[in-house]
Structure 1
Amino acid sequence: MMRRERLRTSESPDGRKVATWRLVRSGARILRVQDRADASPAYRWPGREPLPLGAPGLVLFDELAPPDLATVREAFPGCLDLWNAVREDFWHALLDTSDLPASGTKG
């Protein structure tokens, strides 16, 4: 696996919300989101399956088919500040060529 596909973290400007995501091909795939100020029980999306051992305000997404940024932006409109931060970090990651294999090297 190339380093581009490593886990990445983005935070809302106030630091209250955090998303863990991965750059896959040319898109951001969201793996989890947490609102640190939300006391709601943790759950798995989209079915809202409870996660009794999860931290409050945590939402986990399907690891095998994680949603893209557009999907979570629509499903969680209250996290617009976080999705804007993910979008900004996504573009930085996408345009960063420092973690690509050197020309002529197998990666």
Structure 2
Amino acid sequence: MRRDALRTTRTQDGSKVAVWQLIGSSVRILRLQLPRRSFTAYRLPSRTLLPGAQPGTIVFDTYPDLADARELLPRHEDLWNILRDDYWTALLNPADHPDPLEP
């Protein structure tokens, strides 16, 4: 897998999904999806509504790291804990490190 590929982390029951990337050695979270919720999608922290996006979606204005995501949305600690584990797995996986001989 390319190191900067989009990754998905979800809670065991599937009620929360985070889409993120590993950039260098940092997590950058693109969006949070709550598939069982039907609120109008919006951007955070600006609170700009995104009526054309999938309901139950929060898209981040800037891509927070895990610490910032925890501060912005602390009630989703269960998802952030799972994402932390996925992050460390990806960070330490040799297959996720770029080949220095490839252009």
Please give the TM-score of this superposition, normalised by the length of structure 2. 0.90
User: Which runs of at least 4 in structure 1 moved beyond 2 Å after TM superposition?
Assistant: 99-102
Q: Which amino acid aligns with 1:78?
A: R
Q: Give me the identity figure in percent.
A: 48
2:78 corresponds in structure 1 to: 81
- Secondary structure (helix, strand or coil) at the match of 2:13 reads coil
- Secondary structure (helix, strand or coil) at the match of 1:92 reads helix
1:48 corresponds in structure 2 to: 47
The whole-number CA distance in structure 1 between the counterparts of 2:68 and 2:44 is 12
Structure 2 portions without partners, runs of 5+: none
Please give the TM-score of this superposition, normalised by the length of structure 1. 0.87
The whole-number CA distance in structure 1 between the counterparts of 2:76 and 2:56 is 12
- Secondary structure (helix, strand or coil) at the match of 1:10 reads strand
Structure 2 residue 23 is the aligned partner of structure 1 residue 24? yes
Kept in 2: contact 1:13–1:81 (CA 8 A)? no
CA RMSD of aligned residues (A): 1.6
- Secondary structure (helix, strand or coil) at the match of 1:30 reads strand
Q: How many residues in Structure 1 have an aligned counterpart in Structure 2? A: 103
Structure 1 portions without partners, runs of 5+: none
Q: Displacement, 1:89? A: 0.5
